[in-house]
């Protein structure tokens, strides 16, 4: 019934969808297997994409021809560039999407791909022969053959949902859990762990009093995620901000004795940075209020999402407490919040390509690797999809460096450090934040995947080249064009900047704090004239390159310094056990994790600088 | 520099200095140290003896006794290198020591390279970088103070201070990062004033450490004190008096000293290198002219100028003119008011000025040794300085100093950035750089060329 596939992707969430697209873009024939074709690309938690650090990841995924950015652009109801007041490294795009449109658009884009087939069924096992994956087995007892398999099971593996004292199996509200895969992987020698995450109640927007809340509108000039020309956002929906209060906390406390969190029924470790409301009330008892974001679920629905009120308390406690929140006095719930426990596989069992060490051509991506977040999942899917294709064709893998992409940081952290709680990306995890900006992901990454042989990149590559040249031309203009005191002193006086005493280059004026290219362009007609031929995006890049040149250079110097370790390869078969000079822990960790470079080795917890020095010496450095 | 196999070798070297001594020690380290030692040693079976024990026996070469020795056993990991170590205490003949080394080599050991024992100790985690560097200093220590300093560093004093600074910065950085990553969430922002105070505090600490470098360096390298002045001021007499021996030729004839003479004298644990120079005057002949030239050069290379003048014949104005001519900006000055035996009524105050404070003038009679104790005390105080005490951690290593300097520069950028209101993420960038620089000192950041540099500064067998 089935042909033999190059790649089978199990699961059609953010990770699985990107994996299927990436493998197909590389040229593989792909089968996407999901338990339910109606829930492809569900936003299981809040209806938003991006945010601080996560927005950068979506841009990186887009730069590598992933679809998350395009789908978001087509379906968003609000766009904001966060952190505008901070430096360009912190600017982070974030969008609210229409949940239903988002899933529909994803499915439409997947269906448009001739190399992607679909099958709706639960995968219950893998076909593994001779240490190599050969396909999957389904609940109906079918065997489907492939050269590679990518598991993106999200929260479905032995998922258990908790609401108060009730608990039942399930991968998501209203959906079954998946069984069989974990058990087989344990038999194959995989280590498995449990994690926990949660989601807040969904409520009826018609029952809310928005007058009692703060309005948070989108940006006046909304941006977008894709580097391609996705349609601009014409109108937007606002979000709302409100707060809990002591009365709310009092009601929540009444339910603590029935909370699966506090009674110990949930054993999995949840994310510290995304705590449930009961956790917040318990751990930060001194705080009188906690912020809640009320987010619209879409253009044509009254459903709303209460960000910040994730809970697994009994539904009646959730309901009662919500009613004491300003604006929520008459609230009606569509469904209560819940906590979900699921299996994950400690990611230190993976290579930096996301292939498992134990089974050849078997890849893991997304939440089963212990991450949280759509963006974190999506980018792993993309990398696994590319590397699955590369692996079956014996081509070099794509392993991004920490200095190249947030994705590089994420995967490097996962496979070398592992994670005990659900891993979320933060900008602080990246050492070279100013190099990994949302405005330059295309320059950083599109050429890389182009070189690997990914198809359909002609337009993106042309734009990358155009952008690079434009930025150079603009920079040249600023370095060569002079400005005289009489042209600009009036403006400088307005903004409290020291007046010029003689003609200087525009460049030196731009370098002053609080002086922007846009402002110069408003005051100086010849600058406006020149810049008008370029897209705003290009001007922005040139401006960042000039204004932050010192910082960019300093960070590049650090990269070079660190890269000396990154460039020292460690032989795959290196016998760490024989190096008595290594600490016992380092010997064990290095033998288990088999880093490819000294740089990777240096980030493994338990491997000390002295151990690295030992390796350096042994490698004859 | 080292290849993979090198570190699995068992190494051997003579661990005591060359020359005849009552005893000499040959040290053997590595996986084969015990079998090799056992093969040479006639006495107990060393394999069965516990660690940290001494054993009497003989070393034999094909049955012929080479020497009677005491063998010290130090088993891994509780040894200097962290490997099995055997030390042979032999009689101190170079021939015997050499022979023992040769026998070890014949049984499979390899001659150790400079610093290799300490390299292994470092690689085996027995010491961190600053401690390894301290070993080099310890071995080279020429004075009590230098020794004390090295011991302190070896025990981790410097590492501890730097780590404390680093931890404060990491704490600071985490406050900033919290703000950056959770800007959308309801976090309380860090108090800017407090952050600035923290930065200033860390900078102050860093600078205190940097200030100790001059002292540390003086202790480690010794202090160059140049003795200069007009002909016949009594410079050579002063040198002889300080040394307690007639090192320099003295006469009444002006210009007796043509070339410079250098001698080391230990004052309260610090090595002072006294440099006697030709008197400064308009030269009468070419040789003298060269001597004067050389004097000026020596002065430029010194830390301290001991300006000697004849209190009986010079006026205050002449003294000031000399000092202006001789004293370079970066050096400490002491004026030695000599020949007080001839003019007991003169007082330092007679020569004091804004340029030359009275407490920098020491009345001395070099001829009969009057005032020398006071002079020595003043010299010592000058170098140690009022604000630095030995209770402090002292930076004596140029690598540490430079890293502190770079960290301080990065922190200066943070402080000025805060004043200019630059975005927080850029502040964070400079804080991270400072953290990295400090980490380099203790080796928390592994940089390969550091190792080469550090370990090539060692002497063999130490």
Q: Would you state the pLDDT for residue B444?
A: 61
Query: For residue A614, which residues of chain B lie inside 8 Å, CB to CB?
Result: 7, 123
Query: Collapsing DSSP states into helix, strand and coil, what is residue A341?
Result: strand
Q: What are phi and psi of B453, to 5 degrees?
A: -60, -50
Contact between A581 and B82 using a beta-carbon 8 Å cutoff: yes
Structural domains of chain B, ranges and CATH numbers in brackets: 5-126 (3.30.1360.120), 152-218+397-444 (1.20.120.430), 222-384 (3.40.50.300)
pLDDT at position B461 over 50: no
User: Which CATH architecture group holds A458-551?
Assistant: Orthogonal Bundle (1.10)
Measured in angstroms, the CA of B192 and the nearest CA of chain A are apart by 15
Contact between A87 and B425 using a beta-carbon 8 Å cutoff: yes
Query: For residue B180, which residues of chain A lie inside 8 Å, CB to CB?
Result: 52, 83, 86, 90, 427-428
Contact between A617 and B420 using a beta-carbon 8 Å cutoff: no
pLDDT tier at B142 (50, 70, 90 boundaries)?
A: low
Q: What is the mean pLDDT of residues A176-189?
A: 91
Q: Would you state the pLDDT for residue A506?
A: 94
A52 CB near a chain B CB, below 8 Å? yes
Count other Cβ atoms within 10 Å, centred on residue A581: 23
Query: For residue A433, which residues of chain B lie inside 8 Å, CB to CB?
Result: 425, 428-429
pLDDT at position B452 over 80: no
Contact between A90 and B423 using a beta-carbon 8 Å cutoff: yes
Structure tokens at A463: 């734009």
A20 CB near a chain B CB, below 8 Å? no
Scanning A577-616 for CB atoms below 8 A from B yields 580-581, 583, 602, 608-614, 616
Contact between A620 and B2 using a beta-carbon 8 Å cutoff: yes
Measured in angstroms, the CA of B73 and the nearest CA of chain A are apart by 19
pLDDT at position A168 over 60: yes
Q: Which residue of B has its CA nearest to A559?
A: B433
Q: Would you state the pLDDT for residue A621?
A: 47
Contact between B425 and A434 using a beta-carbon 8 Å cutoff: yes
Contact between B182 and A89 using a beta-carbon 8 Å cutoff: no
Spacing of C-alpha B233 from chain mean position = 34
Structure tokens at A529: 């004239």
Q: Which residue of B has its CA nearest to A52?
A: B181
A495 CB near a chain B CB, below 8 Å? no
Mutation site for A-interface testing, chosen from B119, B186, B451, B452 by largest number of A Cβ within 10 Å? B186
Contact between A86 and B177 using a beta-carbon 8 Å cutoff: no
Query: Collapsing DSSP states into helix, strand and coil, what is residue A97?
Result: strand
Instruction: Flag the least confident range among A391-400, B76-85, B205-214, B341-350.
Output: B205-214
pLDDT in tens, A563-608: 777 777 888 788 888 776 677 788 888 888 888 888 888 888 777 7
A331-334: long-range contacts, CB 8 A cutoff, minimum separation 24? A331/A203, A331/A204, A331/A207, A331/A208, A332/A203, A332/A204, A332/A206, A332/A207, A333/A201, A333/A202, A333/A203, A333/A204, A334/A201, A334/A202, A334/A203, A334/A204, A334/A303
Q: What is the mean pLDDT of residues A467-478?
A: 97
Contact between A581 and B445 using a beta-carbon 8 Å cutoff: no
- On the 0-12 / 13-18 / 19+ scale of CB atoms within 10 A, B142 is middle
Residues in chain B: 462
- On the 0-12 / 13-18 / 19+ scale of CB atoms within 10 A, B412 is middle
Query: For residue A602, which residues of chain B lie inside 8 Å, CB to CB?
Result: 446
- DSSP E strand boundaries for A375-469: none
Contact between A610 and B443 using a beta-carbon 8 Å cutoff: yes
Q: Would you state the pLDDT for residue B455?
A: 47
Q: Would you state the pLDDT for residue B346?
A: 86
Structure tokens at A180: 């069989």
- Which helix (H) or strand (E) is A292 found in, with range? strand A291-296
What fold characterizes domain A567-618? DNA polymerase; domain 1 (1.10.150)
pLDDT at position B453 over 50: no
Contact between A620 and B177 using a beta-carbon 8 Å cutoff: no
Q: Are A176 and A22 in contact (CB under 8 A)?
A: no
Measured in angstroms, the CA of B4 and the nearest CA of chain A are apart by 4
Q: What is the mean pLDDT of residues A526-538?
A: 94
Which residue, A215, A217, A222, A214, is CA-closest to A81?
A222
Which residue, A490, A541, A483, is CA-closest to A531?
A541
Measured in angstroms, the CA of A355 and the nearest CA of chain B are apart by 29
pLDDT tier at A610 (50, 70, 90 boundaries)?
A: low
CATH number of A202-337: 2.40.30.260
pLDDT in tens, A240-299: 999 999 999 999 999 999 888 777 787 777 777 678 899 888 888 888 999 999 999 999
pLDDT at position B457 over 50: no
Structure tokens at B218: 């003086």
Scanning A445-484 for CB atoms below 8 A from B yields none
CA–CA separation, A519 and A500 (whole Å): 16
Instruction: Flag the least confident range among A172-186, A219-233, A467-481, B289-303.
Output: B289-303
A89 CB near a chain B CB, below 8 Å? yes
Q: What are phi and psi of A105, to 5 degrees?
A: -65, -40
Residue indicated by tokens 């024990």: B53
Contact between A434 and B123 using a beta-carbon 8 Å cutoff: no
Strand-strand pairing, B41-42 and B53-61: antiparallel
Residue A241 bridge partners (DSSP): A214, A293
Contact between A513 and B445 using a beta-carbon 8 Å cutoff: no
pLDDT tier at B460 (50, 70, 90 boundaries)?
A: very low
Instruction: Flag the least confident range among A533-547, B26-40, B205-219, B265-279.
Output: B205-219
Measured in angstroms, the CA of B85 and the nearest CA of chain A are apart by 14
Q: Would you state the pLDDT for residue B389?
A: 47
Query: For residue A561, which residues of chain B lie inside 8 Å, CB to CB?
Result: 447
- On the 0-12 / 13-18 / 19+ scale of CB atoms within 10 A, A256 is middle
Structure tokens at A201: 């109640």
Contact between B448 and A619 using a beta-carbon 8 Å cutoff: no
Contact between A613 and B184 using a beta-carbon 8 Å cutoff: no
Scanning A420-449 for CB atoms below 8 A from B yields 426-428, 431, 433-434
Residue indicated by tokens 């550091």: B450
CA–CA separation, A479 and A476 (whole Å): 5
More confident residue, B156 or B22: B22
Contact between B180 and A428 using a beta-carbon 8 Å cutoff: yes
- Which helix (H) or strand (E) is B90 found in, with range? strand B85-91
Q: Return the top range by mean pLDDT from B46-55, B89-98, B422-431.
A: B46-55
Q: Which of B8, B186, B447 comes nearest A291 by C-beta?
A: B186
Q: What is the mean pLDDT of residues A418-432?
A: 87
Q: Would you state the pLDDT for residue A604?
A: 81
Q: Which of B4, B82, B428 comes nearest A619 by C-beta?
A: B4
Kindly give, in sequence order, each residue whose CB lies less than 8 Å from that of residue A460, ignoring residues fewer than 6 positions away.
A63, A65, A227, A228, A442, A446, A450
Q: What is the mean pLDDT of residues B422-433?
A: 86
Residues in chain A: 621
Q: In what order do the strands lie in the sheet with B23-29?
A: B41-42, B53-61, B64-74, B85-91, B23-29, B11-14, B110-111
Q: What is the mean pLDDT of residues B150-175?
A: 73
A565 CB near a chain B CB, below 8 Å? yes
Which residue, A242, A223, A232, is CA-closest to A95?
A223
Give, as one character, the DSSP assignment of residue A5.
E
Contact between B444 and A609 using a beta-carbon 8 Å cutoff: yes
Q: Which of B119, B122, B421 comes nearest A513 by C-beta?
A: B421
Contact between A558 and B31 using a beta-carbon 8 Å cutoff: no
Measured in angstroms, the CA of B215 and the nearest CA of chain A are apart by 30
Q: Would you state the pLDDT for residue B393?
A: 64
**Percentage of chain A exceeding pLDDT 90:** 74
Which residue, B261, B306, B302, B309, is CA-closest to B281?
B309
Strand-strand pairing, A239-243 and A214-216: antiparallel
Contact between A433 and B422 using a beta-carbon 8 Å cutoff: no
| Distance spanning both ends of chain A, measured CA to CA | 56
Residue indicated by tokens 């300080």: B242
pLDDT tier at A4 (50, 70, 90 boundaries)?
A: very high
Query: For residue B443, which residues of chain A lie inside 8 Å, CB to CB?
Result: 609-610, 613
Instruction: Flag the least confident range among A8-12, A352-356, B183-187, B258-262.
Output: B183-187
Q: What is the mean pLDDT of residues A151-164?
A: 92
Q: Would you state the pLDDT for residue B29?
A: 94
Q: What are phi and psi of B267, to 5 degrees?
A: -110, 115
Query: For residue B4, which residues of chain A lie inside 8 Å, CB to CB?
Result: 618-620
pLDDT in tens, A22-68: 999 999 999 999 999 999 999 988 999 999 999 999 999 999 999 99
pLDDT at position B391 over 80: no
Kindly report the average pLDDT of chain B as a whole number.
79
Q: Would you state the pLDDT for residue B462?
A: 36
Query: For residue B125, which residues of chain A lie inside 8 Å, CB to CB?
Result: 583, 608, 610-611
Domain boundaries, chain A: 202-337, 458-551, 567-618
**Percentage of chain B exceeding pLDDT 70:** 77
Contact between B4 and A613 using a beta-carbon 8 Å cutoff: no
Chain A to chain B Cβ contacts (< 8 Å): 123
Structure tokens at A105: 């658009």
Contact between B424 and A431 using a beta-carbon 8 Å cutoff: no
Measured in angstroms, the CA of A141 and the nearest CA of chain B are apart by 47
Q: Are A378 and A14 in contact (CB under 8 A)?
A: yes
């Amino acid at each position: 019934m089935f042909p033999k596939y190059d790649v089978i992707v199990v699961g059609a969430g953010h990770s699985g969808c990107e994996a299927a697209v990436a493998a197909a873009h590389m040229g593989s024939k792909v089968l996407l297997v999901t338990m339910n074709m109606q829930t492809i690309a569900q936003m299981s938690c809040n209806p938003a994409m991006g945010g601080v650090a996560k927005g950068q990841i979506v841009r990186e995924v887009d730069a590598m021809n992933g679809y998350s950015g395009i789908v978001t652009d087509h379906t968003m109801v609000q766009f904001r560039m966060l952190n505008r007041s901070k430096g360009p490294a912190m600017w982070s795009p974030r969008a609210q999407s229409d949940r239903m449109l988002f899933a529909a658009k994803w499915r439409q884009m997947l269906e448009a791909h001739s190399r992607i087939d679909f099958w709706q069924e639960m995968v219950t096992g893998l076909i593994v022969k001779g240490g190599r994956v050969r396909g999957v087995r389904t609940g109906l007892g079918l065997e489907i053959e492939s050269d590679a398999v990518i598991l993106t099971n999200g929260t479905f593996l032995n998922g258990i949902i908790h609401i108060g004292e009730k608990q039942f199996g399930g991968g998501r509200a209203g959906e079954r859990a998946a069984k069989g895969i974990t058990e087989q992987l344990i038999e194959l020698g995989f280590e498995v762990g449990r994690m926990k995450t949660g989601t807040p109640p969904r409520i009826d927007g018609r029952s809310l009093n928005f007058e009692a809340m703060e309005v948070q509108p989108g940006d006046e000039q909304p941006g977008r995620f894709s580097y391609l020309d996705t349609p601009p956002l014409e109108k937007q929906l606002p979000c709302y901000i409100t707060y809990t209060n002591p009365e709310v906390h009092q009601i929540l406390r009444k339910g603590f004795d029935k909370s699966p969190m506090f009674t110990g029924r949930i054993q999995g470790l949840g994310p510290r940075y995304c705590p449930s409301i009961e956790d917040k009330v318990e751990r930060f008892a001194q705080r009188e209020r906690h912020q809640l974001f009320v987010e619209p679920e879409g253009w044509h629905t009254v459903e709303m999402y209460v960000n910040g009120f994730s809970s697994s308390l009994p539904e009646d406690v959730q309901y009662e407490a919500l009613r004491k929140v300003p604006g929520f006095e008459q609230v009606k719930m569509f469904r209560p919040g819940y906590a979900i426990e699921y299996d994950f596989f400690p990611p230190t069992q993976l290579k930096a390509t996301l292939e498992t060490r134990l089974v050849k051509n078997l890849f893991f991506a997304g939440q089963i690797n212990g991450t949280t977040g759509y963006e974190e999942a999506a980018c792993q899917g993309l990398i696994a999809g590319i590397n699955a294709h590369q692996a079956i064709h014996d081509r070099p893998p794509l392993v991004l460096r920490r200095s190249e992409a947030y994705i590089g940081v994420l995967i490097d952290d996962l496979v070398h450090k592992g994670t005990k709680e659900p891993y979320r990306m933060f900008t602080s995890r990246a050492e070279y934040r100013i190099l990994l900006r949302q405005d330059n992901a295309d320059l950083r990454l599109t050429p890389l995947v182009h070189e690997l042989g990914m198809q359909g990149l002609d337009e993106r590559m042309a734009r990358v080249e155009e952008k690079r040249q434009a930025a150079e031309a603009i920079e040249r203009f600023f370095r060569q064009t002079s400005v005289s005191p009489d042209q600009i002193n009036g403006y400088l006086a307005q903004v409290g900047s020291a007046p010029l005493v003689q003609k200087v280059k525009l460049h030196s004026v731009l370098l002053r704090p609080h002086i922007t290219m846009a402002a110069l362009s408003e005051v100086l007609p010849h600058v406006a004239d020149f810049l008008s031929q370029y897209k705003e995006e290009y001007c922005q890049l040139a401006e960042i390159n000039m204004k932050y040149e010192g910082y960019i250079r300093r960070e590049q110097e650090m990269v070079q310094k660190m890269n000396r370790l990154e460039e020292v390869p460690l032989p795959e078969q290196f016998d760490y056990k024989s190096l008595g000079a290594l600490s016992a822990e380092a010997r064990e960790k290095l033998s288990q994790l088999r880093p490819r470079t000294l740089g990777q080795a240096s980030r493994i917890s338990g491997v000390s600088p002295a151990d690295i020095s030992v390796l350096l010496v042994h490698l004859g450095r | 520099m080292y290849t993979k196999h090198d570190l699995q070798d068992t190494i051997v070297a003579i661990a005591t200095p060359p020359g005849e001594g009552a005893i000499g020690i040959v040290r053997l380290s590595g996986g084969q140290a015990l079998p090799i030692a056992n093969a040479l040693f006639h006495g107990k079976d060393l394999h069965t003896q516990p660690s940290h024990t001494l054993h009497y026996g003989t070393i034999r070469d094909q049955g012929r006794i080479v020497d009677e020795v005491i063998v010290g056993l130090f088993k891994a990991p509780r040894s200097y290198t962290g490997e099995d170590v055997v030390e042979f205490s032999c009689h101190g003949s170079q021939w015997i020591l050499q022979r023992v080394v040769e026998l070890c080599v014949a049984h499979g050991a390899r001659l150790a390279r400079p610093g290799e024992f300490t390299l292994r100790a470092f690689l085996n985690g027995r010491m961190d970088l600053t401690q390894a560097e301290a070993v080099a200093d310890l071995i080279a220590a020429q004075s009590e103070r230098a020794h004390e300093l090295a011991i302190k560093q070896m025990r981790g004093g410097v590492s501890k201070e730097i780590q404390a600074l680093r931890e404060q910065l990491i704490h600071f950085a985490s406050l900033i990062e919290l703000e950056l990553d959770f800007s959308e969430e309801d976090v309380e922002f860090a108090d800017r004033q407090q952050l600035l105070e923290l930065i200033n505090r860390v900078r102050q600490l860093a600078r205190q450490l940097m200030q100790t470098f001059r002292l540390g360096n003086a202790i480690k390298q010794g202090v160059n004190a140049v003795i200069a002045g007009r002909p016949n001021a009594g410079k050579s007499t002063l040198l002889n008096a300080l040394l307690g021996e007639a090192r320099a030729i003295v006469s009444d004839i002006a210009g007796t000293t043509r070339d410079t003479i250098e001698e080391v004298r230990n004052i309260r644990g610090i090595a002072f290198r006294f440099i006697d120079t030709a008197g400064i005057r308009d030269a009468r002949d070419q040789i003298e002219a060269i001597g004067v030239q050389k004097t000026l050069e020596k002065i430029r290379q010194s830390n301290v100028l001991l300006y000697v003048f004849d209190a009986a014949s010079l006026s205050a104005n002449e003294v000031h003119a000399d000092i202006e001519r001789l004293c370079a900006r970066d050096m400490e000055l002491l004026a030695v008011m000599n020949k007080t035996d001839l003019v007991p009524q003169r007082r330092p105050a007679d020569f004091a000025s804004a340029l030359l404070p009275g407490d920098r003038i020491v009345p001395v009679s070099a001829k009969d040794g009057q005032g020398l104790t006071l002079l020595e005390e003043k010299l010592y105080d000058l170098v140690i300085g009022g604000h630095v005490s030995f209770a402090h951690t002292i930076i004596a290593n140029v690598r540490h100093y430079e890293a502190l300097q770079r960290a301080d520069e990065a922190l200066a950028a943070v402080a000025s950035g805060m004043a200019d209101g630059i975005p927080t993420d850029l502040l964070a960038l400079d804080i991270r750089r400072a953290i990295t620089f400090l980490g380099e000192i203790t080796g928390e950041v592994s940089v390969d060329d550091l190792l080469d540099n550090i370990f090539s500064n060692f002497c063999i067998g130490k």
